[in-house]
């Protein structure tokens, strides 16, 4: 090693050995490590709130049992959708906003506003309308993560489904316009605007009372 290179290394070593610079370097390294650990912990916690187990912790006697009897849980092929697939956006920004709203809902549960099936059903219309409005605003994006209209083979659908899906495509309708109550019992719909596609020239589906 040449004397010139040796002198450069010595000067660098002396520079880094300065107490003030050691302190600054230590703070930078520890901050970097702390940032990584915080990010990992944050993402781990976020993912833990995106599980059926977490959701069913509060919804044991209301929404969760309804979901277990829906086509999104029990399917012919075994491919289903879990709670966060429908209720939590995939993108980071919308996901964080939804988590903040959910924090208010968890608070309401533990404050006794929705902790019984009777209280939950009393607030069901309000909660349902909020969720319908959210899905309407984002063009039912969570539905479309799995159900892509442009990939549907209408010829394999029932006649009524063919007509309604074609009508939806041509008139800018979105999934939630018709598919309210697909996984949960509907609230009192007497004051809710019709969700079916009027003008599609289809026979109305036979109504079934959900218990």
Please indicate if the annotation marks 175 as binding a ligand.
yes
Please indicate if the annotation marks 72 as binding a ligand.
no
pLDDT of residue 198: 42
Please indicate if the annotation marks 105 as binding a ligand.
yes
Is pLDDT at 171 greater than 60 in this prediction?
yes
Alpha-helical (H) ranges within the chain are 3-17, 19-48, 52-56, 63-68, 83-87, 92-110, 117-137, 141-144, 159-171, 175-178
Please indicate if the annotation marks 147 as binding a ligand.
yes
**What is the rounded distance in angstroms from the CA atom of residue 193 to the CA atom of residue 201?**
19
Please report the DSSP string for 181-207 in residue order: TSSS-----TTSPP-S-TTS--PPPPP
Counted residue by residue, the chain has a size of 211
pLDDT of residue 18: 66
Is pLDDT at 203 greater than 90 in this prediction?
no
Please indicate if the annotation marks 170 as binding a ligand.
no
List, for residues 17-55, the tens digit of each pLDDT value.
Answer: 666 666 777 888 899 999 999 999 999 999 999 999 999
Please indicate if the annotation marks 109 as binding a ligand.
no
Over its C-alpha atoms, the chain yields an Rg (Å, rounded) of 27
pTM, two decimals, is 0.71
Please indicate if the annotation marks 58 as binding a ligand.
yes
CA angle (74 as vertex; 140, 46 as ends), nearest 5: 55
Is pLDDT at 96 greater than 70 in this prediction?
yes
Please indicate if the annotation marks 126 as binding a ligand.
no
Please indicate if the annotation marks 83 as binding a ligand.
yes
Task: Quickly state the pLDDT bin for 202 (edges 50, 70, 90).
Answer: very low
């Amino acid at each position: 090693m040449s004397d010139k290179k040796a002198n450069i290394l010595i000067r660098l070593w002396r520079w880094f050995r300065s107490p003030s610079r050691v302190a600054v370097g230590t703070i930078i390294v520890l901050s970097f490590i702390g940032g990584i650990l915080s990010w990992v912990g944050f993402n781990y916690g976020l993912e833990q709130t995106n599980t059926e187990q977490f959701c069913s912790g509060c919804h044991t006697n209301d929404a969760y049992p309804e979901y277990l009897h829906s086509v999104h849980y029990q399917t012919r092929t075994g491919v289903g959708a879990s709670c966060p697939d429908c209720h939590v956006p995939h993108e980071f920004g919308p996901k964080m906003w939804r988590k903040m709203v959910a924090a208010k809902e968890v608070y309401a549960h533990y404050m006794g506003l929705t902790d019984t099936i009777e209280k939950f059903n009393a607030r069901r219309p309000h909660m349902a309308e909020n969720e319908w409005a959210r899905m309407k605003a984002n063009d039912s994006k969570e539905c479309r993560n799995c159900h892509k209209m442009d990939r549907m083979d209408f010829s394999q659908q029932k006649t009524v489904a063919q007509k309604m899906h074609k009508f939806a495509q041509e008139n800018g309708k979105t999934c939630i316009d018709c598919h309210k109550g697909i996984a949960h019992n509907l609230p009192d719909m007497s004051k809710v605007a019709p969700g079916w596609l009027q003008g599609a020239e289809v026979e109305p589906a036979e109504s079934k009372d959900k218990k």
